[in-house]
Amino acid sequence: MLIHPTLDKLQVLKLFGMLNAFQEMAELPESNHLSFEERLGLLVDREMTERENRKFKTRLKNARLKHSACMEDIDYRHPRGLDKSLMLQLSSCQWIQSHQNVLIVGPTGTGKSYLSSALGHQACRTGHSSLNIRFPRLFEQLALAKGIGRYAKLLSAMAKCNLLILDDWGFTVLNDEQRRDLLEILEDRHGSRSTIITSQLPIEHWHERIGDPTIADAILDRLVHNAYKINLKGESMRKKQAGLTQENISE
């Protein structure tokens, strides 16, 4: 039997997983002992696996995560108050399905962005869309979108994302336009999507950084009361890693 026409048809149909598996089977004599049902099952399984892998890679690319991080690589040896049991619980991504939030606060260098990237990676791995953006860049993009008439489209795109990661919150007090933009984003997501926020600023000081008391109450009501809170502490991990590197050099 000539297999080339079949391979060509699989290529045209974009059944690349089945195509690869079919080619591999043709080169393995032991596959001839499999029944038709077994061979078909292997082809279908391979197609599903490769499609899921492609979807995962696309979700990961679109997420624009700050770090190439995953839950398995989180360092629990560093004394920074990180609860391993909580992170294992979050790794199930049930909190995303329940539309809850995660707030990660702590001094610079304690791994806030790394943890948020690891959670974003896990979200992509479990089939959820994710998007990471720094707060300053968020407001730049919103201002630009208003200028070119794409503001509503940008808000809609963020509202549809299963997990929105807002990194580096709280460096400056928000102006009126920024706090109203933030309220719009969180209002669209409240009760239907999940949000991660990282900040060096303790949560109890967020209210004053928002500025307007009424809008601050509305924003925090949509963020804090339905959130897991991770409070990191201790010295910068970058500083300790640099110290270890310097010791190795001196030795």
pLDDT confidence of residue 19: 86
Is residue 201 in some structural domain? yes
Report yes or no: 106 and 232 within 8 Å, Cβ to Cβ.
yes
Residue 248 domain-assigned (yes or no): no
Query: What pLDDT does residue 240 have?
Result: 57
pLDDT at 166 over 50: yes
pLDDT of 183 > 70? The answer is: yes
* DSSP-derived pairing of the beta strands 130-134 and 101-105: unpaired
What are the φ and ψ backbone dihedral angles of 166, each rounded to 5 degrees?
-110, 110
Same domain, 141 and 108: yes
Measured from the Cβ of residue 192, the count of other Cβ atoms closer than 10 Å reads 10
Q: Tell whether 120 and 80 lie within a shared domain.
A: yes
Separation between Cα atoms, residue 86 and residue 107, nearest integer Å: 20
What's the number of domains the chain is made of? Answer: 2
Q: How would you label 153-184 residue by residue, b for 16+ Cβ within 10 Å and e otherwise? A: ebbeebeebbbbbbbbbbeeebeeebbebbbe
Radius of gyration of the chain (CA): 23
- Minimum mean pLDDT range among 40-49, 87-96, 120-129, 237-246: 237-246
pLDDT band at 243 (very low <50, low <70, confident <90, very high): low
Q: What is the mean pLDDT of residues 183-194?
A: 94
pLDDT of residue 223: 92
Q: Indicate whether 245 belongs to any domain.
A: no
Confidence of residue 25 (pLDDT cuts 50, 70, 90): confident
Residues 92 and 211 in one domain: yes
- Residue 251 covered by a domain: no
Q: Residue 241 above 50 pLDDT?
A: yes
Question: What is the average per-residue pLDDT within 126-147?
Answer: 93
122 & 224 share domain: yes
Q: Tell me, what's the pLDDT at 16?
A: 84
Q: Give a yes or no: residue 111 inside a domain.
A: yes
pLDDT band of residue 250 (cuts 50, 70, 90) is: very low
Whole-number pLDDT of residue 239: 61
Q: Which of 61, 81, 106 is the last residue of a domain?
A: 61
151, amino acid identity: Y
Residues 192 and 106 in one domain: yes
Same domain, 38 and 104: no
Range of the domain at 43: 4-61
Task: Give the domain-ending residue among 17, 40, 61.
Answer: 61
Backbone phi and psi for residue 35, each to the nearest 5 degrees, phi listed first? -75, 165
Strand extents, DSSP E, the chain: 101-105, 130-134, 163-169, 194-199, 227-231
- Domain CATH for 92: 3.40.50.300
Tell me which of 35, 61, 87 is where a domain ends: 61
Reported confidence tier of residue 245, pLDDT bands at 50, 70, 90: very low
What are the helix (H) ranges across 30-150? 36-63, 84-90, 94-97, 112-125, 135-147
pLDDT at 238: 60
Residue 249 in any domain: the answer is: no
CA distances from 53 to 44, 121, 184, 230, 242 (A): 14, 13, 34, 31, 36
Mean pLDDT of 20-49: 83
Q: Is residue 210 part of a domain?
A: yes
User: Does the structure show a pLDDT above 70 at 247?
Assistant: no
Residue-wise pLDDT tens digits, 190-229: 999 999 999 999 999 999 899 889 999 999 999 998 899 9
Q: What is the pLDDT of residues 59-117, one digit of tens each?
A: 999 999 999 999 999 988 877 889 999 999 999 999 999 999 999 999 988 889 999 99
76 and 163 housed in the same domain: yes
Same domain assignment for residues 56 and 95: no
Is residue 232 included in any domain, yes or no?
A: yes
Q: Do residues 48 and 102 share a domain?
A: no
pLDDT of residue 2: 61
Structure tokens at 45: 């399984």
Query: Residue 34: its pLDDT value, please?
Result: 81
Integer Cα distance of 129 and 84 in angstroms: 24
Between 95 and 173, residue with greater pLDDT: 95
Domain shared by 122 and 22, yes or no: no
